[in-house]
Amino acid sequence: MSRHVVFRIALAASAVAALGVPAWAWGPKTQQAVVTTALHVLNKEGVVQIARLSREVAEGATATADEMQKIHPTYNANPVRAVETELRLLSAVRGQSVDPYFAHRLGLLGALISQITAPLSGEPSIYRTEYYNDVDQNLQQVPLKAGQRKNVDVVPYLERVGMMANARRDLLLKDYQAGIGFLGVARSSLAEETSRSVEAVADIWYTLLTGPSYQSAVSEEQVQKYVADAMEYYVGRGNEAEIDANYGRLSKLAAKTPVFARRLGDIFYDGGLYERAISEYNVVLEHEPGQREILDRIATYYVKVGDQHAAAKRLEQAEAAYGRAAKVDPLHVDAEMKRLEMEAQIGQRNARLETARRVIEEAGQLQTEAEQLVLQGRHADAIALLHQAEAKYRTVTSEFMEELQAANTGLTTVSMRLRDLTAQLIQNAQSLSGSGSALDMQRLADANAKSIDEAALKALNARELADELARVKEQMRPALEYQ
């Protein structure tokens, strides 16, 4: 054998292995072409209209060996039996219409059939890999066809088709051993070999979709596994509307045993659909209340919800979530501790809120007292009280927006009233100081005094007023400008 031929075989084997296609299968392109052509045949003949789900069928047709092994553990040892098992299961669970996961499984079933009906499918020779690779590269040159549809008995049908597929085994191997490769029998028989696979897929699909149901031949465990696999498929697609649309029908196909509910719960939980998961877990807990792992999972979810509320300062909601977690699992490492911490924070926050409300009330009372002093002509005393009210309003923080708004409204009112009273005070001073008092006030106001001495203001009388105003430079300057 030449080095060139050996290299081609090794390269082809590596390419197929990298795609996860079993060594005895058609190549990946051929396998998908066989399945999609069979789908086209059935759609064209009006057997079933699932053209809208062609993508899901095609995805199933490209299933890896690992996925096939997961669904059919014995598929490598007995692929024909795997096809029969899949046919009976799909027949038992089919509904009035084809849903996306059922279409996906149709594609997977088609992939199984196409592999069984491929020439050299069970041949241990290294030449089969080169043959499959050559078919992949040349498939577009031939038309794929299928005859009239018919119901079939799957096992004898596949055995017969398999014998036909291997009729040219010796000729194919001889050509590849001699270095002729695809240019000999492989090329001349390509259309017939691939079309045979298309027809086998189409016939078995036809049998599945139009034949009787095999419910009596399918175990409860098989149906439960199918439903769980379907929900895992839908959760993986991330479409909650799709989950809603299919969960109701699928969940009615099998009894909700604790083991089954546990698997569904794990699928939803791992997919981030926690409330759905908890609904399934509760089914398990009804039968087995002490399931520590489930209790921990539920409690951990509620703690997570509590953390989210706490981060957003929704303290009551956080405490409620932590409380639910502690109730579900009193032994949870964080639930009760966080609930107590949140309870303390709520108490502290309520105390701060009460303080803010009391301060606003006290500031309002100071404003009322200030107005009473104004009526008595005691403007200086009124100004002092308004400054006290102003200081109280400023202690209210943004933690409580309603109270902060009330404090800001109070500050605005106090500020306006202070300007009014200061103006009145200036006017009174001018009228009491005689001619030229305004100039004297300007000179005195330019002095270095910074604030009103409260005690002195309380002792003011008409004769002392002008002199005392010299001590209020910063307060008087805006007032003079206002004047």
The whole-number pLDDT of residue 461 equals 42
Across residues 297-302, what is the average pLDDT?
A: 97
CATH of 3-218, one of 1.20.81, 1.10.3470, 1.10.575, 2.60.40: 1.10.575
The whole-number pLDDT of residue 150 equals 87
Across residues 443-456, what is the average pLDDT?
A: 38
Of residues 433, 458, 453, the one with CA closest to residue 380: 458
Name the range with the highest mean pLDDT among 302-306, 378-382, 456-460.
Answer: 302-306
pTM as predicted? 0.72
Across residues 253-282, what is the average pLDDT?
A: 95
The whole-number pLDDT of residue 25 equals 67
DSSP for 222-250?
A: HHHHHHHHHHHHHHHHT-HHHHHHHHHHH
Nearest-angstrom CA–CA distance, 111 and 32: 7
The whole-number pLDDT of residue 456 equals 36
Report whether pLDDT(340) > 60: yes
The whole-number pLDDT of residue 125 equals 79
Is the sign of the CA dihedral 280, 282, 286, 292 positive or negative? positive
Query: Which band of pLDDT confidence, cut at 50, 70 and 90, is reported for residue 216?
Result: low
The two structure tokens encoding residue 325: 């977690």
Percent share of the chain, pLDDT over 90: 62
Q: Which of 36-40, 299-303, 362-366 has the lowest mean pLDDT?
A: 36-40
If one compares 478 and 415, the residue with the highest pLDDT of the two is 415
If one compares 424 and 465, the residue with the highest pLDDT of the two is 424
The whole-number pLDDT of residue 20 equals 37
Question: What does DSSP assign to residue 27?
Answer: P
Q: What is the pLDDT of residues 132-174, one digit of tens each?
A: 999 999 998 888 877 788 899 999 999 999 999 999 999 999 9
Nearest-angstrom CA–CA distance, 109 and 57: 10
Q: Which residues contact 334 (CB under 8 A, 6 or more apart)?
A: 303, 325
Across residues 373-399, what is the average pLDDT?
A: 93
Mean pLDDT of the chain: 83
Report whether pLDDT(482) > 70: no
Nearest-angstrom CA–CA distance, 206 and 109: 12
The two structure tokens encoding residue 210: 């139009």
Across residues 191-202, what is the average pLDDT?
A: 94
Nearest-angstrom CA–CA distance, 202 and 148: 9
3-state helix, strand, coil in the chain (%, to 5): 75, 0, 25
Is the sign of the CA dihedral 218, 95, 228, 198 positive or negative? positive
Report whether pLDDT(464) > 50: no
The whole-number pLDDT of residue 475 equals 53
Contact (CB, 8 A) for 112 and 75: yes
The whole-number pLDDT of residue 354 equals 97
Q: Coil, strand or helix: which one is 117?
A: coil
Contact (CB, 8 A) for 132 and 12: yes
Query: Which band of pLDDT confidence, cut at 50, 70 and 90, is reported for residue 222?
Result: very high
CA distances from 120 to 31, 128, 332, 364, 365 (A): 14, 6, 59, 96, 99
If one compares 234 and 454, the residue with the highest pLDDT of the two is 234
Nearest-angstrom CA–CA distance, 143 and 194: 9
Query: Which band of pLDDT confidence, cut at 50, 70 and 90, is reported for residue 446?
Result: very low
Report whether pLDDT(119) > 60: yes
Contact (CB, 8 A) for 43 and 50: yes
The whole-number pLDDT of residue 449 equals 36
CA distances from 227 to 74, 85, 284, 293 (A): 20, 16, 17, 23
Q: At what angle do helices 127-138 and 3-18 cross, to 10 degrees?
A: 70
Q: What is the residue type of 450?
A: K
The two structure tokens encoding residue 375: 């009526």
Contact (CB, 8 A) for 171 and 185: yes
The two structure tokens encoding residue 72: 């059919």
Of residues 45, 43, 44, 19, the one with CA closest to residue 32: 19
Across residues 293-314, what is the average pLDDT?
A: 96
Query: Which band of pLDDT confidence, cut at 50, 70 and 90, is reported for residue 454?
Result: very low
Nearest-angstrom CA–CA distance, 201 and 191: 16
Q: At what angle do helices 154-165 and 100-116 cross, to 10 degrees?
A: 50
Across residues 3-24, what is the average pLDDT?
A: 37
Across residues 291-300, what is the average pLDDT?
A: 95
If one compares 116 and 429, the residue with the highest pLDDT of the two is 116
Contact (CB, 8 A) for 356 and 394: no
The two structure tokens encoding residue 197: 């696979």
Across residues 298-323, what is the average pLDDT?
A: 96
Report whether pLDDT(442) > 50: no
Contact (CB, 8 A) for 279 and 259: no
Residue boundaries of the structural domains of the chain: 3-218, 296-333, 351-482
Percent share of the chain, pLDDT over 70: 82
If one compares 217 and 229, the residue with the highest pLDDT of the two is 229
The whole-number pLDDT of residue 146 equals 72
3-state secondary structure 299-320: HHHHHHHHHHHHHCCCHHHHHH
Q: What is the pLDDT of residues 268-289, one digit of tens each?
A: 999 999 999 999 999 999 999 9
Contact (CB, 8 A) for 25 and 121: yes
Tokens 């659909």 appear where? Answer: 273
Question: What does DSSP assign to residue 26?
Answer: P
Query: Which band of pLDDT confidence, cut at 50, 70 and 90, is reported for residue 302?
Result: very high
Nearest-angstrom CA–CA distance, 420 and 438: 18
Q: What is the pLDDT of residues 77-87, one digit of tens each?
A: 888 998 999 99
120: left (phi over 0), alpha (psi -120 to 50) or beta: left
The whole-number pLDDT of residue 63 equals 82
The two structure tokens encoding residue 161: 């088709």
The two structure tokens encoding residue 424: 């009145």
CA distances from 259 to 37, 221, 224, 270, 284 (A): 40, 10, 10, 17, 8
Across residues 112-137, what is the average pLDDT?
A: 90
Q: What is the pLDDT of residues 54-103, one digit of tens each?
A: 899 999 998 887 888 888 887 778 889 989 999 999 999 987 778 999 99
Report whether pLDDT(123) > 50: yes
Nearest-angstrom CA–CA distance, 345 and 343: 5
Report whether pLDDT(355) > 70: yes
